[in-house]
């Protein structure tokens, strides 16, 4: 049985008769375009591994942040954080907005007549692997009877999970970025899988975080569980919401940083990016 559980968005536990076309087209169903994760040695090949099986007992672990975009539910689950949103405003999803401390994956924006009325920053984080998933991907192709070109010794390698580095890195990034959002009285949401949040709660000081989340806190955590349906497919569901503020993240890490930006700067960037192409649609 393959350790790759989802390949180009499809469950490998399901019967499909067009795996050859899926592998050739290399499309990510969550983005609606080609999978952006490519081999460094051959950029023409997308890796396409969304979810893998890992741990004892084996559990589905998401390794691609884009997988979290299923049905765009993560955006719907942030609507309540748009406290200045009014009926008649339009919703937009704007990607890759740079703020002090780095780039934020997505902004959920409430807009009217081209003017930003409110926004929420949304950062996605999944587990990074140690080693490479490529051998397991190629073993999957072999099991599916699809052509591949690998040396036998290459397929003996496997991967692990970089729990500690993934968790610490994203918390440090959140510490930098949440200062910006707190300064302009807006919310920043970190979206993770439940297994990664469980690790954070175990390895870092999370005892002071509010559970359930406090709407007034600038830093929000949304974790999602992965369950397998009766037909073999996988789906996400909101599991836990926690919250804190910039000082709370500092308590987790014991770090200090400076990140300040005026509200007008963020609003100007968002208004320059919103268009008919960014308009939010749940499906």
Residue 247: which of 153, 179, 196 has the closest Cα?
179
pLDDT of residue 12: 96
| Topology (CATH level 3) of domain 65-127+162-283 | Trna Endonuclease; Chain: A, domain 1 (3.40.1350)
Confidence of residue 154 (pLDDT cuts 50, 70, 90): low
The C-alpha atoms of residue 89 and residue 71 are separated, in whole angstroms, by: 22
Tokens for 246? 């910039």
In terms of Cα–Cα distance, which of 59, 35, 56, 57 is closest to 46? Answer: 35
Instruction: List the chain domain ranges.
Output: 1-63+129-161, 65-127+162-283
Q: Is the pLDDT of residue 258 over 80?
A: no
Mean pLDDT of all residues in 198-220: 95
Q: Say what percent of the chain tops pLDDT 70.
A: 94
């Amino acid at each position: 049985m393959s350790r790759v559980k989802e390949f180009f968005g499809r469950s490998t536990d399901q019967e499909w008769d067009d795996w050859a076309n899926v592998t050739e087209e290399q499309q990510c169903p969550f983005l609606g375009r080609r999978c952006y994760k490519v081999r460094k040695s051959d950029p023409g090949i997308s890796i396409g591994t969304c979810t893998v099986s890992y741990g004892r007992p084996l559990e589905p672990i998401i390794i691609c942040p884009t997988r979290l975009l299923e049905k765009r539910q993560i955006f719907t689950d942030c609507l309540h954080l748009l406290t200045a949103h009014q009926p008649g405003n339009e919703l937009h999803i704007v990607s890759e907005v740079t703020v002090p401390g780095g780039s934020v994956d997505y902004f959920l924006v409430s807009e009217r007549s081209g003017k930003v009325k409110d926004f929420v920053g949304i950062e996605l984080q999944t587990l990074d692997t140690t080693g490479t998933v490529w051998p397991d991907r190629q073993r999957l192709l072999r099991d599916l009877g699809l052509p591949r070109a690998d040396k036998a010794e290459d397929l003996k390698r496997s991967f692990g999970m970089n729990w500690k580095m993934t968790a610490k890195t994203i918390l440090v990034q959140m510490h930098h970025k949440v200062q910006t959002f707190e300064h302009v009285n807006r919310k920043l949401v970190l979206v993770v899988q439940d297994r990664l949040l469980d690790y954070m709660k175990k390895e870092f000081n999370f005892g002071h975080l509010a559970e359930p989340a406090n709407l007034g806190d600038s830093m929000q955590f949304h974790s999602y569980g992965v369950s397998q349906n009766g037909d073999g497919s996988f789906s996400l569901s909101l599991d836990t919401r926690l919250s804190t503020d910039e000082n709370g993240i500092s308590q987790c890490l014991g770090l200090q940083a400076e990140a300040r930006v005026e509200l007008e700067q963020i609003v100007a960037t968002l208004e320059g990016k919103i268009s008919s192409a960014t308009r939010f649609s749940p499906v």
